[in-house]
Amino acid sequence: MSPRRQLSTKRLPLVAFLAGLALVAVVSGYVLERYILGSFVATKGKAVTPPKEQVATVTKTEITVPGASLWRVQIGSYNSKQQADQAKDAAQKKGFGAFVSGTGPFRVVAGVTKTKDAAQKLSTSLSKAGYKPYVAEYKYNPATYSVTLGDANYVPVFKNGVLSMADAVPAEAGAWDYYYAGKKNEFVSSATGVSTTLTNVAKKLAGTAPPKGAESLHASLSTLLEKAAANSNDMKTFAEKGGKDLYVKAATTYMEVLESFERFMAQLPK
């Protein structure tokens, strides 16, 4: 073999190596243009769309509260709050429940019942004590409220709290019916049932964090439920033990709960 032939053969691996490098460069250039530079050119001059923000879920729920027809026994009406308070204190000292209602004239109420017959029985007791009681119907119509809450999981807890209060108000009035009718066993049973229900509902609401924007309504409902639960427990204690002081406390606080319930419902949008 000639020297020139040998030299050509030795150069073959080098040529192959250089050809391989050229191929790699070509492929790399294609990838760079196709997937990197192409993407840059396609988006050049265009505004980049930012990612969408997560929007909080806004849940609106309707709560239909049943109406109720109750009876109030009134023992006085005064233009002066001071006079009304004095009449209230005097009635309590005589062993009657008494509560000042209204903002002028100020009415002194001695009890609330579910039936007119029970109200008449209380009225008779007041008459014997020297009062001139007045029995009047007290009613509120059913209404549907539309409440916006920010958490679908919170809706049933809040709704149950409102409806439980709406049920408890006439239920407690019915318990007082049993008391004025002299039906102790029924009075104890009714007061115990309301106490158990309201206590459980109040604990459930207190243990649930309200969503943003519902803190005020949550606090108002929690306060109302806690007050109603305490009152129903006082009723239960009085039903079991009796006693003038326990009666005055339980009967008076029930009337306070009733008025607090009215104020709370006035906060809810219809």
Domains defined along the chain, listed by start: 59-267 (1.20.1420)
Which residues of the chain fall short of a pLDDT of 70? 1-59
Q: Considering the entire predicted model, what is its pTM?
A: 0.76
pLDDT at 59: 64
pLDDT at 150: 83
pLDDT at 56: 47
Does residue 225 contact residue 197 with C-beta atoms inside 8 Å? no
pLDDT at 116: 97
d(C-alpha 227, C-alpha 202), whole Å: 9
Angle at the Cα of 114 from the Cα atoms of 99 and 240, rounded to 5 degrees: 75
Q: How far is CA 32 from the centre of its chain?
A: 61
Does residue 270 contact residue 146 with C-beta atoms inside 8 Å? yes
